[in-house]
Amino acid sequence: MTRTPIDDDLQTETESAARGATPPRTEVPVPSVQRARERGAAAERNPVVLRTEQLTKRYGHLLAAAEVSIAVHAGSFTGIVGPNGAGKTTVLSMISGLNRPSSGRITVRDIDVWADGPTAKRLIGTLPDRLRLFDRLTGAQLLYYAGVLHGVEEASVAERARDLAQAFGLEAALDRPVSDYSAGMQKKIGLACAMIHAPEVLVLDEPFEAIDPVSASNVTDILEKFVAGGGSVVMSSHSLELIQRVCDHVAVIVDGSVIAQGTVDAVRDGVSLEERFRHLTQVDDAGNGLAWLHGSSDSD
């Protein structure tokens, strides 16, 4: 395979991280930005692999998702952003087949996620919010069950588990119970479990939460390679810098509705994604109304 300067930069970064040199700053890698831009244009020409149509979820009177329609192309990396309580987890959990929609439809390729769950779930890998792992199992056992439950042949599971453990830097922890893992390690084993059946679409709720900067760079690399191989990633994150850097598409959700979506460049429209997000969500006045907190103490 022909190596590009981008590959070389990424390799140097990964190697220096592995040697324990100064960890690369998560916000640095220009290669990802270039790659995301190129991908954004190219992916739009690929077929749509995941589609939500008028996806709606009501919790009693609360409208948590309101007619959310998103199209994800094969080979694209889509970020879902929005303020706390906007509906990101609700939308991602409906896509993953974990939270039944009140109305609307989700298809992966042409398979309806809620009409044919088992078939759809073979195509989807999920990292849910508030990850609940069978934490009395060891990492190796968890990967084994994730693999066989998704229909992977036993002979392949051990090999894939080894590869994933190595990719996520978990080899030394594989024989320890998952309950003893740190939050970041649990996130990584959860990601590995989401990938063991080689899905076409990864649906990841806050995959970078609790992950250290070196590991974040490593996970970004793994996900970018997955996308470069034709897979698609849909992930939520509160880090707009990260979304701008690694994603080629983005959807902004506010109060359950998608208020902007498209390529990252189209949505940010010449300013940073963070600036655009502030404008769209009008959060500039945060902190106003707390004068009592900033003044002298109550006991004065």
Ligand X SMILES: Nc1ncnc2c1ncn2[C@@H]1O[C@H](COP(=O)(O)OP(=O)(O)OP(=O)(O)O)[C@@H](O)[C@H]1O
Rounded Cα–Cα distance for residues 159 and 155 (Å):
7
Look at the block and give the residue holding tokens 């609790």: 210
88 versus 249: smaller Cβ distance to ligand X? 88
Exposed/middle/buried for residue 156 (C-beta within 10 Å: 0-12, 13-18, 19+): middle
CB-count burial class (<10 Å; 0-12, 13-18, 19+) for 297: exposed
Closer CB to ligand X, 17 or 251, in the complex: 251
The distance of closest approach from Cβ of residue 254 to ligand X in the complex, given in angstroms and rounded to an integer, is: 9
**C-beta closer to ligand X: residue 82 or 97:** 82
Smallest distance from ligand X to CB 236, Å: 7
- Rank residues 140 and 243 by Cβ distance to ligand X and give the closer one: 243
Residues that bind ligand X (CB under 6 A): 59, 62, 64, 82, 84-90
| Least distance to ligand X, CB of residue 129, Å | 7
Q: Which amino acid is at 39?
A: R
Sheet holding 201-205, edge to edge: 124-127, 201-205, 232-236, 77-81, 249-254, 257-263
Nearer Cβ to ligand X, position 28 or 280? 280
Residue with tokens 């939270």: 99
Cα–Cα distances (Å) from 279 to 108, 119, 245, 273, in that order, read 33, 41, 19, 10
Residue 55: name the closest of 94, 99, 3, 1 by CA: 94
* Residues 52 and 105 sit within 8 Å (Cβ to Cβ): yes
- Length of the chain, please? 300
Taking the complex as a whole, how short is the minimal distance between the CB of residue 58 and ligand X, in angstroms?
9
Q: Residue 175 CB, nearest distance to ligand X (Å)?
A: 33
Give the chain's count of helices (H) and strands (E). 12, 10
Which residues, 6+ apart, have CB-to-CB distance to 172 below 8 Å? none
We find the least distance from the C-beta atom of residue 105 to ligand X, in angstroms, to be 19
**CA 5 – CA 11 distance, rounded (Å):** 10
Q: Which is nearer to ligand X, 85 or 118 (CB)?
A: 85
Judged by beta carbon, residue 90 or residue 220, the one nearer ligand X is: 90
